[in-house]
Amino acid sequence: MDILKFSKEHEKFRERLAGFLAKEVTPFMDQWEKDRIVPKSIWKKAGRAGFLCPSVSKEYGGLGGDFLYSVIVSEEFSRIVHSGLAASLHSDVVVPYIESFGSEEQKKKYLPGCVSGDIITAIAMTEPDAGSDLAGMKTTAVGQGDQVVINGSKTFISNGINCDLVVLAAIDPAITDKHQAVSLYLVEDKTPGFKRGRHLDKMGWNSQDTAELFFSDCHIPKANRLGEAGSGFIQLVMKLQQERLVCAMGAVFAAERIMEFANEYCKKTMVKEKPLNRFQAVQFAIVEMTTDVKLGRTFVEKLCADHMEGENIVIETSMAKYWTTDMVNRVAERCMDLFGESAVLESNIMARIKRDARVMSIFAGTNEIMKGIAAKFMGM
């Protein structure tokens, strides 16, 4: 019995998305990889076609769909091995902060543009000296009348170049308790004092724009704060469950795609006049890796079902994020050996897959952080 139940509407959505990607994304991926960025126009095309923010209510222009639409988007993007158009980051990680914690005025102002692709979002938590430690952040937000003045810097910000709206985490330096000092703010592109730094040249996810962001006496209205002052840490904790689940989904779907490539290669590649997959060592390797992938799929699907039921699965999503992202790296590394020398050629899709897989165990909180979170919540 399947854990996740997809309706006819879900499958129609999947079919439309697959057609869209085949026409509007796949033919241009190699050029975008060279350019180190996707054009903003593809975001608008994806939005107008109905593939961004599917969970946003119809009141704000979305589909009002359930989390299964997000599963489909993640799976179909993994199928074409593309990370530049970071739809899951925008739709399932950043925009939910506005959906859940934004005022009615903020929702009406920003959500329709997020759905249409006219507004590309980013979330700015990571800092040069803080990394995954939210309590260690130094970016400040100080009230000044009806304004808030922001000073500080963020780094490794996905969508950092293309973003039109940033969900920014900053602290009130007057509050000594670092957890109670954190608030989230909405900062629009072209706000005076907000500047982009380097467009970071990464190993992997080449067409996904990642940048440094700088805030120097950046004035925004107090009305741009998400929720109550000092509620930022709790807001982040509440949404990190879904972020880590989305990471685990991406890792499993990527691993499945790797195994599809590996199986096809081993069927058609001849060694000593017989297919590579007729050798026992290769058979054992494929069986072992496929077992890991199927275990990951079952675990993640169960967590998706629990998440849709509103269950608290912080421990389990932390476990899933670290295990699945470690798993996809194991699978990619082992399949590189099966492919042999050809795997290191840029013309071989395995080279891109291996690069793209590596960072999965680092972003959204390193896997060491995931283990620490699970241990804490388990009472250790």
Q: Which positions are catalytic?
A: 243
Report the run of H or E that residue 23 belongs to, with start and end. helix 8-24
**Torsion, CA 353, CA 358, CA 359, CA 365, rounded to 10:** 130
Coil, strand or helix: which one is 184? strand
Closest CA to 66 of 55, 80, 78: 55
φ/ψ region of 139 (left if φ > 0, alpha if ψ in -120 to 50, else beta) reads: beta
Contacts of 209 (CB under 8 A, 6+ apart): 36, 37, 38, 84, 158, 159, 160, 161, 162, 199
Residue 296 in tokens:
């990951």
Separation CA 289–CA 299 (nearest Å): 15
Indicate the pairing of strand 165-171 with strand 121-124: parallel
